[in-house]
Structure 1
Amino acid sequence: METVDNYGAIFKNIREKRGLSLTQVARGIISPATLSIWENGKGEMYFGNVVSLLQRLNIYLDEFISIAQYSRKDNAAIRALLEQVQKAYSEDNAVRLEELAQRQIRCYQSSNKELDLFLAMTICSCYEDITGKNILSDKERTRLDHIFQHVNVWNKYYIRAFGNCITLLNSSEIFKISVQILNGLKEIPQDNLTQISESVKAVLNAVIILLQRDAKIAAALLEKTSSFKIPVDLLYLKMQILFLQEVVAYLQNDSRPVTTMEKLTDILCLLGYNDEANKWCQIFKNSIQKGHEQ
């Protein structure tokens, strides 16, 4: 892989953000000096070494290439757009969000770039959260589903894209895509805690959303999630799975005691996570409310 592009510089930026030294990343692969030369655009790097170095950063090759394909100008424009979205969302400015969404959709229609679609979907999700209205056309939603259905490697880029637009998909699509993410967990080493955490969190968010729509589909997805062995270092996620299992069981039989849910939230409070405990309680209340409406 030649340094005709800025791959080395991008790698350096990621490495430094993660607080890793040249020696830590290069050990057993290449010399720190060789890595430094590549990072500074003054040398070449064999493809196999690039893959090994990326593994040290817990990042997939396609994710890295996706980051690298956008110039600094593009990244600056994206940051500016997201700042506008955050401002409008924090102010509950639905008119501004719709304006930004429609502009970004037109941008995607012109460029046909995957990232432009994901950005548009993120804005549409913010708009829906405020208004309860999905302004996404069937054409864009179908395209979105098609992209997710054909993801080969569920890296952070795709997982976060899915997480940002779950509510725009129908229940069947959410279930199928979530199962794909769970299947991808089988290929992830148990010590890659970051990737496992990102994947399981995305699926559990899908379960929470499905609880508001179809408890049976939510239960089916939760059952598949619970079959995956959660590493001890991610015990919090196991607790959340247990809590959601209790919510599903209660929806199926409202005479069921809520003692297990209370114990789990008490543990969170004991550990100092009061806000998260309140969030879980709110998930339970919202699910019960939606269950009565159905």
Structure 2
Amino acid sequence: MIDFNSKDFGKSFKTLRLDRGYSINDLADNILSPSVLRKFEEGLVDPSFTKVLMLLDRMHLGADEFIKFSLPNYFPEYKAFLVEVGESYNNNDVKTMKRIYQRESDLFRENSEFFYLIAASTVAALIKNLEANFVVEKNIIDNLSDYLMKVEIWGDFQILIFGNCSMIIPSKTIYLISKELFHKTKKLRSINDNLHNTIAALENGIEITSDRREYELAKELLDLLSDFNIPSDELLLRFKFSFFKNLFFKKQAEAIKLNNQLIETLRLMNSNQLASAYDEYMSTFYQNKLS
């Protein structure tokens, strides 16, 4: 059972209460006293698990979602899974990854547990990175998309899932989820520090839709990203934003010139492999547009 005796829980609860427009008096009515609720939000008291569940229910918020928002690193099982599948991915061991995918998708089919859904989705997305023609079960894609479309509070955990699994999500769904992620994260980001992961997830969506030659959707995602002020110390995120902005909104000759300057900056930073990857990406992009 989760111990709610934590300042993180109280702080998160207050964030969600204010975001949903509840006053302390209205929310506490007939559950506990307003003073106790206020002290909980300040991290001074530990209400019972039952009382917290009643308060969450009044806000139409599940305990699982509240915990994910309050403790974004609460899921060690998923982290352990990422280590397992990451080793196979780094070794280009597609055969092992397919066995892992089959194991997790079978487990999800048997008991519909959330963990098996995100595990199967994550390894499927990694396989698609290595083997473009890999076919993912429609049941996995539909359930993953349905879950992400219904997310109310975007914490680091949900953003991580979206970023890790976007490769198997339909492009239009990526756009719709990105809009929800953008608006809800922007509203709460002063308290829930997930700006980096949000920007990275949006940039990932731009790259995926561009690779699929769905350029109008990629442009719309880029427009969303334009409303974020990318921190000056996030050099790679700023590089990717400028790179794609040039591709989609500059004439080809000017875009190539500007992006070559960006790529040269990577080489000056001794990131030659990354520079070559973006150089090749730009060449392929214009070849695809002409074909």
TM beyond 0.5: yes
From 68, 74, 82, the counterpart of 1:62: 68
Q: Any idea what the Cα deviations from partners look like across 1:115-140, whole Å, max 9, x if unmatched?
A: 22111111111222222124322222
Map 1:1-294 to 2 at 5 A: 5=2, 47-49=40-42, 61-64=67-70, 68=74, 75=77, 79=80, 81-189=81-189, 195-213=194-212, 214-234=214-234, 236-249=236-249, 253-293=251-291
Is the partner of 1:229 in helix, strand or coil?
coil
Contact preservation (8 Å) 2:163, 2:201: yes
Measured in 2, the distance between the counterparts of 1:271 and 1:191 equals 33
Measured in 2, the distance between the counterparts of 1:110 and 1:50 equals 41
Q: Any idea what the Cα deviations from partners look like across 1:257-285, whole Å, max 9, x if unmatched?
A: 52211222233333444444333323323
Going from structure 1 to structure 2, the CA distance change for 1:5 and 1:173 (only over 3 Å counts) comes to: closer
Q: Any idea what the Cα deviations from partners look like across 1:158-199, whole Å, max 9, x if unmatched?
A: 11111111110111011111122221232244597x511110
Q: Show structure 2 runs of 5+ residues with no match.
A: 9-38, 45-65
Measured in 2, the distance between the counterparts of 1:50 and 1:272 equals 47
Contact preservation (8 Å) 2:68, 2:157: no
Q: Any idea what the Cα deviations from partners look like across 1:69-100, whole Å, max 9, x if unmatched?
A: x6x7xx3x972x54542343334333322221
Measured in 2, the distance between the counterparts of 1:182 and 1:276 equals 27
Measured in 2, the distance between the counterparts of 1:95 and 1:125 equals 14
Give the aligned residue type for 1:208: E
Contact preservation (8 Å) 2:100, 2:123: yes
Measured in 2, the distance between the counterparts of 1:255 and 1:162 equals 34
Is the partner of 1:97 in helix, strand or coil?
helix
Q: How far does residue 110 in structure 1 lie from its aligned partner after superposition?
A: 2.9
Contact preservation (8 Å) 1:125, 1:168: yes
Going from structure 1 to structure 2, the CA distance change for 1:240 and 1:67 (only over 3 Å counts) comes to: closer
Contact preservation (8 Å) 1:97, 1:127: yes
Count of aligned pairs between the two proteins:
239
Contact preservation (8 Å) 1:94, 1:127: yes
Q: Any idea what the Cα deviations from partners look like across 1:226-247, whole Å, max 9, x if unmatched?
A: 1222233435433321211111
Measured in 2, the distance between the counterparts of 1:272 and 1:78 equals 30
Percent of aligned pairs sharing the same letter: 18
Measured in 2, the distance between the counterparts of 1:229 and 1:6 equals 37
Is the partner of 2:252 in helix, strand or coil?
coil
Is the partner of 2:194 in helix, strand or coil?
helix
Going from structure 1 to structure 2, the CA distance change for 1:231 and 1:96 (only over 3 Å counts) comes to: closer
Q: How far does residue 8 in structure 1 lie from its aligned partner after superposition?
A: 7.0
Q: Show structure 1 runs of 5+ residues with no match.
A: 12-45, 52-59
Contact preservation (8 Å) 2:174, 2:205: yes
Give the aligned residue type for 1:48: E
Give the aligned residue type for 2:199: V
Contact preservation (8 Å) 1:127, 1:133: no
Q: How far does residue 101 in structure 1 lie from its aligned partner after superposition?
A: 0.6
Measured in 2, the distance between the counterparts of 1:96 and 1:50 equals 46
RMSD value, Cα: 3.2
Q: How far does residue 5 in structure 1 lie from its aligned partner after superposition?
A: 3.8
Give the aligned residue type for 1:132: A
Q: Any idea what the Cα deviations from partners look like across 1:201-229, whole Å, max 9, x if unmatched?
A: 11001101111111121112112211222
